[in-house]
Amino acid sequence: MDDRGLHRVIRAAVGIVALGACRFASAHEADAHAAGIAELLVERALYALLVAGGLIYAVGVAALWSRAGTRRGLRAADAALFVAGWSVLAASLSAPVDAWSDASFALHMVQHEAMMVVAAPLIVLGRPLEAWTWALRAGFGPASLRWSRSRAMRALSATLGGSLAAWALHAIALWGWHIPPLFRAALAHPCLHLAQHACFFGTAIIYWSSVLTGRERAASAGSMASLFTTMLHTSALGALLTFAPVAWYASGNDRVLGLTALEDQQLGGLIMWVPGGLAYLVGGLALVNRWLSHERVRGWT
């Protein structure tokens, strides 16, 4: 695909997003007094972000491969990992899953664990920043990337990308949003619920980037320690939820799965404790394997 073709694709993508925004604005005005408009707004905003992120990634990959050659710079495996992670994220935020998670704490935990320990690491391994940067460069020229190279942006990236800062942000998001009044408030207010999703997923992306990005960083003892300690504190939170004598998040509504509110919370705690903790263990073992492979290569050279 030549540069003209890329520009046509980008203009078409922008046009689709703009048309959708205009139609949604019209629908919003027409149904401003209808029940559930806040839920509809949040749902449409999520869909728009998911579609835009996927389109920009595709445009970036096409731009990179048109310049460097197919499967160079970003491998087909990288793109496949991104697609898998983005698909899991889209499924986790779909309307049916969101509705089920509102009715059950255990299903809510499944939704968030899928976002944080399945979608986030897959997306990070898909190297989205490289693809999105190439999309910006192809669509708006090198001048649009000056902001990303500024001293302030480099300092912010270095701070958030540090293992300790990423670890702390993710831990604060996990423990903070599970404070019962804040968790119940998120279920009651769609915009706050969206903020909860954004905090969980955003800090997970930052966290997994800090341990998986780059061969040198991924092979470090600090990254493995970060995964181990995250496994410990998430397992501790899961254990607290499992062994709590009362239901912290009961809202008075009937629960699904035929469980009481306390049993539903206990199941959610087990999901965080066992499968959630196992994800960090698998990540740590993968890093150990990469580190050993790197050492073998160094030994042969």
Give the pLDDT confidence of 234-272 residue by residue, as tens digits.
999 999 999 999 999 876 555 566 788 889 999 999 999
Name the nearest CA neighbour of 223 among 244, 236, 209: 209
Higher per-residue confidence, 153 vs 134: 134
pLDDT band at 85 (very low <50, low <70, confident <90, very high): very high
**Does 14 have pLDDT greater than 90?**
no
Residue 39 has a pLDDT of 67
Going by pLDDT thresholds of 50, 70 and 90, the confidence category of residue 32 is very low
Q: What is the pLDDT of residue 17?
A: 43
Least confident segment among 28-37, 89-98, 215-224: 28-37
Q: Which amino acid is at 98?
A: D
Return the pLDDT at 271: 95
Would you place residue 82 in the very low, low, confident or very high pLDDT band (cuts 50, 70, 90)?
very high
Residue 108 has pLDDT above 70, yes or no: yes
Average the pLDDT over each of 25-34, 65-74, 214-223, 284-293 and give the range with the smallest value. 25-34
Which range scores top for mean pLDDT: 139-143, 208-212, 256-260?
208-212
Please give the Cα distance from 154 to 147 (Å, whole number).
Answer: 10
Give alpha helix (H) positions in the chain: 3-30, 37-68, 76-92, 95-103, 105-113, 120-125, 128-140, 151-161, 163-177, 180-188, 190-212, 215-218, 221-243, 261-271, 277-300
**At residue 226, does pLDDT exceed 80?**
yes
Every domain of the chain and the residues it spans = 3-300
The encoded tokens of residue 83 equal 């697609």
In the structure, what pLDDT confidence band is assigned to residue 35 with cuts at 50, 70 and 90? very low
pLDDT in the model for residue 68: 77
Q: Over the chain, what is the mean pLDDT? A: 78
pLDDT at position 120: 96
For residue 169, CA distances in Å to 174, 175, 208, 252 come to: 9, 10, 12, 32
